[in-house]
Structure 1
Amino acid sequence: MRITLHDVSKGRGGQALPLTNLEFHTGAVRFALAETEQRPTVLGLIASGRMRPDSGRVTLDGAENAKELRRRVALVDAPDASDPHADITLAGVVGEELMFAGVGATPVHARRWLAQLGFAELASVPIGTVDPAARVRIMCELAVLRDGVEGIVLVAPDRHGGSPDGWWRIAGEFADRGYAMLVIIGGSAAVALERMQEFDAINASGPIEPLVLEESGTTSGADTPDVGPVDPGRPTSGVSSDEPDADEPDADEPALRRAQGPLSDDAPAWVAEPVEASDTDNETPTENGGVR
């Protein structure tokens, strides 16, 4: 699977997102640098097929198919779009995600799932206080429980603090498991990643091609084009689960991310056993948030 953003932008004069070109694909992890409060989420929504750009296009294996892109790419922990409320307990977030994945979703199931993952002691802890690396691990593992997920767009893990080597290593592990990984981060985290002595070892899937959106109108990385000047702006943050080109959030879109993820033959041993799916429509709004 290969996802490519061709000359996409959002907002008048690129205020919400300046002209952007990038690509991420199966079995590799890439980071994209997006500054300001809203641009990381806007880029994540566009890259996962949940927001239509005002210019350019997004292709999946060379074709434009936003509905299929939404089904196959999970949007994880995007601020104001798919992040859980900080006061919700971790077990509450897990329980709701298990429900939408079609597996046992009672409080007992949620605690058991966390225990199998090695985080039993965090079940009653508000997710806003969970260690950044643990949060990324849990959120990504929940994302790939969904049927059909093949890629993850992880948004702004650096906003939770801590050293980037933890969540970056986890992103690399998911790439090694065969997922397409895009991590959207800020400038400080990008500098820290580039300075890590074990950078190449962590990126076992291959070299990183960072996309840097700069006010000067340039990008870093051999394969990324120049980016024009931008002004700060606050975009409409929304998703569309039915129409490929909708900019506003669907009223029926749950607060958790909608995507995705098959349980493959080599899935981790701790993955919960499937149960008979309910009649719940995946498009029913939810309370906790988390991943789309």
Structure 2
Amino acid sequence: MLSVQQLHVKGRRDDLLPPTSLQAKRGDLLLVSGNRQDQRTALALTLTGRMKPSDGHISWDGRVKIKPLRLASGLVDSPGVNEPEQHLSVRDLVTEDLALIPRRYRGALLSKPWLKINRFEDIAELWTEQLPPERRTELLTALALANPYTDLLVIDSPDRHTADVADWLPRLEKLAYDGGRPLAVVATVAALPDNWTGPAAVIGNSIHHPRSAGSHAAEESRLETEDAK
């Protein structure tokens, strides 16, 4: 489990990441909303051990050292950090990303068989900028999971590519709820999708627990009763 308490990253003027608390368990998809792209990216980098926090606490499976967190986490499509370069073909991107996997975990991973096994042959010759948002999310998350030791997946702002949540949300839900490889999946977003009742948090605030439709209706009823008084 990923546990974060009042994680804070100072910037030159404004906070890169205002104090934020959250939890993400294996088998869950946590959406973290924030208006500013720089704050969403700072959170994604900090959650994966790529950026050192100024204050606060972060642990992965009870371990507070950064190295286990970094080894267990995969950062996906972070703007200005590891988003695919537009001049790359999908085939070249896959070759480069597979080469980054530590040799002892890599085995015989080659781009051509990997593309075939993972059913990306149809987009292999496209430029990365030509990828439809849904296929982009599928490809980049699959590449992050090519490392068998990735247990925490952090996707930075998948909604920046599309206004249709169907282009990214079902894929992330499928990964989180996969019983064969239970993952803790976190996605930073500009705004929570309508009707989202799963785990959610807000940058700069404490964790928000998921609400069922029944609890949502009960809360509305309570507010109506108070207004009537």
TM-score surpassing 0.5?
A: yes
Listed as ranges, the matches of 1:35-114 within 5 Å are 35-101=35-101, 102-104=106-108, 109-114=110-115
Q: Which residue of 1 aligns with 2:124?
A: 123
Contact 1:100 1:146 survives alignment (8 Å)? no
Please report how far the alpha carbon of residue 104 of structure 1 lies from its aligned counterpart in structure 2 after TM superposition: 4.4
Which digits, 9 at most, give the CA deviation of each residue in 1:44-76, with x for residues without a partner?
011111111111111112331110000001111
* CA RMSD of superposed structures (Å): 2.1
Contact 2:4 2:23 survives alignment (8 Å)? yes
Q: Kindly provide the amino acid, as one letter, of the partner of residue 123 in structure 1.
A: A
Aligned counterparts of 1:14 and 1:63: Cα–Cα separation in 2? 30
Aligned counterparts of 1:151 and 1:120: Cα–Cα separation in 2? 27
Aligned counterparts of 2:168 and 2:100: Cα–Cα separation in 1? 24
3-state SS of 2:186 partner: strand
Please report how far the alpha carbon of residue 161 of structure 1 lies from its aligned counterpart in structure 2 after TM superposition: 1.5
Hey, which of these two has a bigger chunk of helix by percent? 2
Unaligned ranges ≥5, structure 2: 211-229
- The alignment status of 1:221 with 2:222, answered yes or no, reads no
Contact 2:77 2:155 survives alignment (8 Å)? yes
Aligned counterparts of 1:74 and 1:174: Cα–Cα separation in 2? 13
Quickly say closer, same or farther: Cα 1:95–1:172, change in 2 above 3 A: same
Q: Kindly provide the amino acid, as one letter, of the partner of residue 186 in structure 2.
A: L
Count of matched residue pairs: 202
Please report how far the alpha carbon of residue 164 of structure 1 lies from its aligned counterpart in structure 2 after TM superposition: 1.1
Q: Please give the TM-score of this superposition, normalised by the length of structure 2.
A: 0.80
Q: Which residue of 2 aligns with 1:266?
A: none
Q: Which residue of 1 aligns with 2:134?
A: 133
Aligned counterparts of 1:160 and 1:60: Cα–Cα separation in 2? 29
Q: Which residue of 1 aligns with 2:200?
A: 210
Contact 2:22 2:206 survives alignment (8 Å)? no
Which digits, 9 at most, give the CA deviation of each residue in 1:142-184, with x for residues without a partner?
1111141111001111111241123111111111221110011
Greater shift in the superposed pair: 18-27 or 7-16: 7-16
Greater shift in the superposed pair: 148-157 or 159-168: 159-168
Listed as ranges, the matches of 1:110-189 within 5 Å are 110-177=111-178, 178-187=182-191
Unaligned ranges ≥5, structure 1: 200-206, 224-292
Aligned counterparts of 1:35 and 1:219: Cα–Cα separation in 2? 16
Q: Kindly provide the amino acid, as one letter, of the partner of residue 182 in structure 1.
A: V
Hey, which of these two has a bigger chunk of strand by percent? 2
Q: Which residue of 1 aligns with 2:7?
A: 8
Aligned counterparts of 1:161 and 1:95: Cα–Cα separation in 2? 26
3-state SS of 2:168 partner: helix
3-state SS of 2:56 partner: strand
Please report how far the alpha carbon of residue 212 of structure 1 lies from its aligned counterpart in structure 2 after TM superposition: 2.1
Work out which of the two has the higher radius of gyration on C-alpha atoms and give 1 or 2: 2
Q: Please give the TM-score of this superposition, normalised by the length of structure 1.
A: 0.64
Moved over 3 A (4+): none
Which digits, 9 at most, give the CA deviation of each residue in 1:218-239, with x for residues without a partner?
668348xxxxxxxxxxxxxxxx
3-state SS of 2:159 partner: helix
Q: Report percent identity of matched pairs.
A: 21
Which digits, 9 at most, give the CA deviation of each residue in 1:25-61, with x for residues without a partner?
1111110012223111100011111111111111112
